[in-house]
Each structure stands twice: as C-alpha cells, then as structure tokens.
Amino acid sequence: MKPSITYLHLLRHTPFFASLSTAQLRHAIDHSREWEVAAGTPLLGTATAEGRDDYWVLLDGGWELRYRGQVLRSGHADPGTWFSTTQLGPEPFELVTNAHSYVMQIPAQDMDAMLAQGFDFTARMDAGRALYQRLRDGTRPLTP
C-alpha cells in the first residue's frame, strides 16, 4: 500500500460519500488516509493489529472479504464497500483487494464522531450492515 491524495471533486462522486456537503467532505478528508493498493494486497485480517478497529471504504477498484469459507466481492458502488471488524464475529477473516484499488482508512473514533455529527452515511451503512449480517448468518444470496 502506498499513500495517495484524496481529491474532493473525486470523493464527491464516490457512492459512500455522495450525500455529504462540501464541508463534510473536507472534514472526512482531514480525518482519514487514502491508500493506493495493488491487486491481491491484504488490507486487514484476523492477525492484523494496525488499523483493526478502523473503518475502511473502497473508493475505486474492488476487494473481497473472505469469511467462514465464503467470499464476498465488492466493487465501488456495492453495499460491501465499507468494512469494520465490528460487523463480523470472532472467526478468522481477510479483506483483500482483487483489483488495483484506492481505499480510505478512517479511524473508528473519527467515524463515530462524523456519525454523531449527522454525516449522512445512513443508506450505505445500512446496506452494508444488512450484507454483513447475511454473511454472518450464512443467508443467501450474498449479493443484493
């Protein structure tokens, strides 16, 4: 992974951030890190300590979540384009890019603060929560 620059005009068109005002987008940029990631790079896993509690948002490209023998693939507009370990049980998992990607890492305390301030991530967060619930429960289909 290598650091990347987050551009406001591009972030505005990313589905996860599309409902935010310009001031909120600037705040999100100031309280996050963007990474450029090669295909096949593990972002997070059971053994990962750094960034484990953070929220991860797929800005462009693709990733897959491997959990309980299942693989959930997501592109930049799918419900699974954000991830937090709080969405899974204690079983081993791995979040890996499956294409050249750009991801945003948001510390949990900053995401919690943004949500408390009314940043409108509701639709994307709800869709992701429902998807991760189906993954935990083994309910089909995994894709929306």
Tell the burial category of 73 from Cβ atoms under 10 Å away from its Cβ (0-12, 13-18, 19+): middle
- What is the C-alpha separation between 38 and 97, in angstroms, rounded? 7
Whether 111 shows a pLDDT value over 60: the answer reads yes
Res. 144 pLDDT band, cuts 50 70 90: very low
Per the DSSP assignment, residues forming a β-bridge with 93 are: 67
* pTM for this predicted structure: 0.91
Whether 64 shows a pLDDT value over 90: the answer reads yes
- What is the C-alpha separation between 88 and 28, in angstroms, rounded? 24
Contact 121, 16 (CB under 8 A): yes
Report pLDDT digits (tens) over 23-56.
999 999 999 999 999 999 999 987 665 667 899 9
Q: What percent of the chain shows pLDDT beyond 90?
A: 69
Whether 83 shows a pLDDT value over 70: the answer reads yes
Q: Which residues contact 36 (CB under 8 A, 6 or more apart)?
A: 1, 2, 3, 4, 100, 101, 102
Report pLDDT digits (tens) over 3-14.
999 999 999 999
Report, as an integer, the average pLDDT of 105-130: 95
For the domain made up of 2-137, the CATH class stated in words is mainly beta
- What is the C-alpha separation between 17 and 28, in angstroms, rounded? 9
Average pLDDT of the chain to the nearest whole number:
90
Whether 143 shows a pLDDT value over 60: the answer reads no
Res. 141 pLDDT band, cuts 50 70 90: low
